Amino acid sequence: MNRRLVLKQLAMATAGAMLLPACGVDPKKVSIALNNLKVSGDEEDLIAEIADTIIPATDTPGAKAVGAHLFTLVMVDDCMEKSEQEKYLKGLRSFNDSTKKITGKSFIKASPEERLEILTALEKDRDNLPEETKVFYSRTRQYIVQGYTSSQHFLTDVKPYQLIPGPNYKGCIPVTEQKPA
């Protein structure tokens, strides 16, 4: 037996064993760090598409473009109690079941018109939805709108923020005594 050949083959086998896990297909990762939520990249994409349906891009960027879906995930991760987070995640995972009942497709595969139809139907049929789906949809919608209206784009381009009391404030005015009427 040739020792050089054995050593070469052993080195190749070791390198191959180390390289093999790197070649595997990992599920898509979330683009932000979350402490409590365990959300996949596909679930993040679902929330992004819901955001884009609620506030679509027109001549101004939509909710997805300003990152309202990421704001939503951070708010759920940081501001909701553990039990509410669990309901939210169950609702997130059952959301596609609710959409398949309406259009027969998952939300991601639906056209923009079908997505709007899905959200309209969910609004109308809110009382008959499972509790988790209600929690998911209402919180997602609330945080998407909040994230969009507190984004830099909205506060600088759409509705510029003015510092109170404003530029016309006059703080040095003599106080005069007024007579009661």
Residues 18-61 have pLDDT tens digits of 766 655 555 567 678 788 888 888 999 999 999 999 999 999 99
Percent of the chain with pLDDT over 70: 88
Tokens encoding 103 = 């259009």
Residues 72-88 have pLDDT tens digits of 999 999 999 999 999 99
Burial class (CB in 10 A: 0-12, 13-18, 19+), 48: buried
pTM for this prediction:
0.73
| Residue 11 confidence (pLDDT) | 76
φ, ψ at 65 (rounded to 5°) = -70, -30
With contact defined as beta carbons under 8 Å apart, do 36 and 83 qualify? no
Give the sign of the dihedral formed by CA 76, CA 81, CA 86, CA 91: negative
- Largest Cα span, the chain: 116
φ, ψ at 130 (rounded to 5°) = -60, 150
| Residue 26 confidence (pLDDT) | 52
| Residue 48 confidence (pLDDT) | 95
| Residue 1 confidence (pLDDT) | 63
| Residue 181 confidence (pLDDT) | 57
| Residue 19 confidence (pLDDT) | 67
φ, ψ at 172 (rounded to 5°) = -110, 75
For the residues 144-169, what does the mean pLDDT come to? 85
